[in-house]
A and B are shown apart, each in its own frame.
Chain A
Amino acid sequence: MPSSPFSQPRCRSLKCLTALLLFSLVLPACTPKVIVRKSPTDQDRGIRYYRPKPYLKVEPAEVAVNKSQSTLVPGMVRISLVYMPDFSEEYSISVRSGCGIADVGIKLEDGWNLTEISQELDSQTDENVEAIGSLLSAAGGLIPTSARDDSTDSLSFTVPARNVPIGFYESVVGRDHCNVKRLYGFRYLGFMPFAGCPVEMDGHTHASCQDPGVCGQHPAGSLYGLTFAGGEMVFQPLDVMAVTPAVTAVSLDEKQMMSSERIERKPDDVAELEPPVAAVDVSRLTTDLRAHLKNLGIEFNFFNATNENGITRIRVNLSDAGSAMPVREAIEEWLSQRYIELDLFDIELTSDVGE
């Protein structure tokens, strides 16, 4: 009797092989796993977190009056580094227990900041190691970002300041022409939400220094920076800063010297910090406004603008007295598109005839 090609021992070994193959295929799916996804979709059910982004917080400086009270110091601001979510860097973490047990602890601070991951898995498979590796690489190396952390507390200093807007300054990070990420500086945000007009100073997207206030920025539309003038920190357009000699705060006297410690000064009258005042370039205003009025077809005998004690006086002698109202409106509209403080302007309309 000829032996069957599927004799019993052979058949048994084939079954074992098939089972082993199936097990090896199913095993990865059963293994506990931590999955990190960048820019998750709406359907993603993972736990969301954001990468931290450094901001400068500029606030009025305070000194302690007694143990329970503090007061503001006029002319001084405190600058500190804080971390807030970078909404362009969103991640989700999904934990899949599979066939085993996944004891994964995720600690989010303020609901967005991933500060800790602890996990105990019942299987020491390569997948777990890879998952942790991918998690860490996706997180880019976790850094202490809590505002309460000691390391960030030390990153603050108090300096004399004038016309420095209080609020948050967002870090502008971009890639240079070598595709290397760089911190380009900090951009004033104030307490306003994102206004839909970012300027990414990343070496590819350029911003004109003279770009008018299209972004709801300062009247002149310029980019601004913080610098020292006369021993005080001031908020200045970059184009002005480029031609202004820089001085440091080191030249200040002892009382005003830059300090990382709290200032022990007795509060006098607390002066209100004034908002930045637009530097009106009268020459440019005169030529541009005149051109604008001419473009509107407005006829006038005389037009000029002068700066007197911080007030810009715009004087127009009209050919037709009846057009005074529309001309005033046209001037005010033009000014409002470029300057915030319309109180700084005095419009004087006269006419030789028809009055």
Chain B
Amino acid sequence: MKKTTATLSLDALRRLQQTFLQRVATRDRENIRSVGFTPAQLTANNRYGVAAQFDVARKLKRVPQPRRIEPIETVRLLDRRTRHYQELELPTQVRQIREVIPTGVAIATEDDRATTSLVVRWTTVRPTPPKPDTEQPDDPRWRWGLLTVSHLFVGRGSTESRHRARVRRVAVCGAGPLTIRSRVVVRGRIPGGPDVALVETGWDRLWLSGFVREIGSPPLQVAAASDLRRWVSAGTRGQFVGDGVSFPWSWQTYYPTLSIRGLGRLEQVVACKVSADRNEGKQPFGPGSSGGAITAEGLVIGIQVAAMQPRFDVGYAQTMEVSFAWVEKKLRASALEVVAVVGSTDRTSIT
């Protein structure tokens, strides 16, 4: 029985990736760097499905048969419910890529920086207290912070230590504070991830700086596994919100796991590409843009962690499905909510 690729779960994609990586090990280990999944139009029924994407260092014209990636690869996949194997025929794409590097630079000098675009609030009180609103904004049971990447703090002590961090507004607007003092509450282990860190600060500073427009605003929706599944086969277009910039991107590839130099093997990484006309002479996902948020259809998908050299027009983001859940667990929070995506006009950086 053949299974349609459009209905593959994230777990199925993970197992498929492992199968392909094992095949890669026997075929062309040196050249093939990673395997992901990308939307593809299936010629058979003219519908969208999933194609396996092989990222290679060099695209070769003539490849010997044993090393060749066939246009359609056949794989067996265990259906965990029926305990039967299903045979899948996945179309393949081979894409030549350059090196993917982390774009939030570890702090060594004053110039290094990363971005933060997601304002969150959380509480550890159970049952979950009512949300702070305009009338009662200063509720000590709720704490406020900003999400950024963990690799920003690599080499600055253990992951449990409470670093001080400064969130600096790049573009000043209004009379709010220029620098928001904060401290790192949790951060993921690098290498391995999740590549996420939470810096805590006060709601008043966030509000005065224009990062939070409404104290009592409802929480923003975070992309769930079902959304990711849909986009793996159908793709989507969204917006990257980073350090004073905001530009559209289109969905490229979903990687159940992806090895990035310096970051290790990260789970659930999404590659998105900036349209060519937006990329003239700029490096949209360039150094310092890590920590920016990618959103689509009103959902916060993830935090950008890396980009492809040298043009930095393809960004890599770890999904909130992984990082957000990890932060919530680490905080032992009864509620963790994304309050705002700091807009393109509210420029921030972390130093």
Which A residues are within 8 Å of any B CB, using their own CB? 201, 203, 206-212, 221, 223, 237-240, 242-243, 281-284, 286-292, 294-295, 302-305
Contact = CB atoms under 8 A, between A and B. Distances in A.
Given A208-B208, A290-B221, A294-B218, A201 B175 contact: yes
Interface in B206-220: 207-214, 217-220
B297 A283 contact: no
B213 A303 contact: no
A152 B157 CA distance: 65
B295 interface: yes
B108 interface: no
Interface stretch (B13-21, B140-148, B282-290, B342-350): B342-350
Main secondary structure of the interface of A (DSSP, over half): mixed
Interface string B241-267: 100101000000000000000000000
A207 B297 contact: no
A223 B218 CA distance: 24
B220 A287 contact: yes
Contacts of A211: 210, 213
Contacts of B212: 210
22 contacts: A206-B176, A207-B174, A208-B176, A208-B207, A209-B210, A210-B210, A210-B346, A212-B213, A237-B345, A242-B171, A243-B345, A283-B246, A286-B297, A287-B221, A287-B299, A287-B300, A290-B221, A290-B299, A291-B218, A302-B297, A303-B297, A304-B298
The 8 residue pairs across chains A and B that have the minimum distance between CB atoms: A290-B298, A295-B218, A283-B239, A210-B210, A209-B173, A286-B298, A209-B210, A209-B174
Contacts of B246: 281, 283
Contacts of B214: 212
Interface residues of B, number: 35
Contacts of B176: 206, 208-209
Nearest to A289: B298
Interface of B: 171-176, 207-214, 217-221, 238-239, 241, 244, 246, 295, 297-300, 341, 343-347
Nearest to A284: B343
Contacts of B295: 283, 286-287
Main secondary structure of the interface of B (DSSP, over half): loop
Nearest to B207: A208
Contacts of A302: 297
A239 B345 CA distance: 6
B218 A206 contact: no
Contacts of A303: 297-298
Contacts of A209: 173-174, 176, 210, 345-346
A211 B206 CA distance: 12
Contact of A281 (B211, B220, B343): B343
A239 B173 contact: yes
B339 to A, nearest CB: 9
Residue from A201, A207, A237 with most neighbouring chain B CB atoms (10 Å) = A207
A239 B221 contact: no
B351 to A, nearest CB: 19
Nearest to B171: A242
Nearest to A207: B174
